[in-house]
Structure 1
Amino acid sequence: MSSSPITTIVFDLGGVLIDWNPRYLYKQLFTDEQEMESFLSTVTTSDWNEEQDAGRTIAEGTALLVAKHPEHRELIEHFYGRWPEMLGGAIQGTVDVLTELRNSGRYRLYALTNWSEETFPIALEQFEFLHWFEGIVVSGTEKSRKPFADFYQTLLTRYQIEPGQAVFIDDNERNIHAAQAVGLQTVHFQSPEQLRTELAALQVLA
């Protein structure tokens, strides 16, 4: 536990507060689950998706992938064409934690997210709690993303956050290590219950 009082809580969004998973869409498009998993792991890969998160346009990303895998054109085009169907809803247990933190009035609340600038407005419209944050730093807007240090630094500098007094919550261990490297305290999110326990240990929640 830090000797400095914690003043700021920074949330990742996808996988922490919002249940996003391309399988929600592609289970409707494949009859064979193994074929679906193969498509997601070799065609619409996480590396490809992260380039859109880092600022590449959806049109460019889609065109590049279709050129590489023309036999999968329609399935590739559905990735962003039917993107809202990948949203599974809020992770309510984490929203409850966020609600408690907000109601306490003790903390500055921010979000740091890898998200395409073109699809993020859909989430903003769908999830009211996204409007509770003092600020959200979106990778697609900044043209950088986690785990790159400059992306974390954008948050810290823009909102004058002292990293030793802030806790960063993310479900991706890679992003947790990067946050620690810039001096942030961290919680590697695994479940709302585990998050609540770890925040209690940090004396953030009762």
Structure 2
Amino acid sequence: MITTIIFDLGAVLIDWNPHYLYERIFEREEERHHFLETICTPAWNEEQDGGRTLQDATQVLIAQFPEHEENIRVYYDRWPEMLRGEIPGTVALLKTMKESGNYKIYALTNWSSETFPIALERFEFLSWFDGIVVSGAEKDRKPFASFYQTLLNRYAVNPEEALFIDDNLRNVKAAEELGIHAIHFINSEQLKQQLIEYGIAV
């Protein structure tokens, strides 16, 4: 029986993507992809999710790629432009589960503690959660077991009664290794069907 739902945020409930910003900066698509795949990479961004400061992160890259300094600085100077909005279908599912009163609902997110306040201000639905664990604040992140354990311990969650939803298969598998039920998020329609299969009325 599922009593607790744990959501990832980015690409599940919030449409965040660096390409939304950099498509305004690079005229050629191949240049944009090259920049985000070789300079401001997902692996680099994950270090900020794990607690590295935005200033330190920026300086590290500028030292490596001084010729790209202007475009590197833009990443965090114009970071809000990477937020396109909520993902309506998933937010609707969250709302239904919250209003049912049948579940404790938490968020476990890889997110810099310096940029997360922007999301809190912009997305009213973030106030619906019974608790949010932010990687940058904890200086820990998915897929490390210790990060999941922080949420389980803080809110006295039984992993056998918990369901975790994330768009990253790596993070889904890490949750399953801790005995947490998990869904690999593809889109809100697929999520709704799998929630129904778990006996959750949505």
Q: With structure 1 as the length reference, what TM-score do the two structures score?
A: 0.97
Map Cα deviations across residues 122-175 of structure 1 (whole Å, 9 max, x no partner). 000000000000100000000000000000000000000000000000000000
1:196/1:205 contact within 8 Å kept: no
5+ residue gaps, structure 1: none
Within the candidate set 7, 10, 31, 1:14 is matched to: 10
What letter corresponds to residue 3 of structure 2 in structure 1? Answer: T
Partner of 2:152: 156
Within the candidate set 88, 93, 97, 1:97 is matched to: 93
What letter corresponds to residue 179 of structure 2 in structure 1? Answer: G
Within the candidate set 8, 25, 34, 1:38 is matched to: 34
Map Cα deviations across residues 62-117 of structure 1 (whole Å, 9 max, x no partner). 00001000000010000011000000100000000000001110000000000000
5+ residue gaps, structure 2: none
Partner of 1:81: 77
CA RMSD of aligned residues (A): 0.5
Count of residue pairs brought into register by the alignment: 202
The whole-number CA distance in structure 2 between the counterparts of 1:13 and 1:45 is 19
Partner of 1:48: 44
1:199/1:205 contact within 8 Å kept: yes
Within the candidate set 143, 147, 162, 2:143 is matched to: 147
Kindly state the Cα deviation for residue 55 of structure 1 after the two structures are TM-superposed: 0.1
Kindly state the Cα deviation for residue 205 of structure 1 after the two structures are TM-superposed: 1.9
% of aligned pairs identical? 58
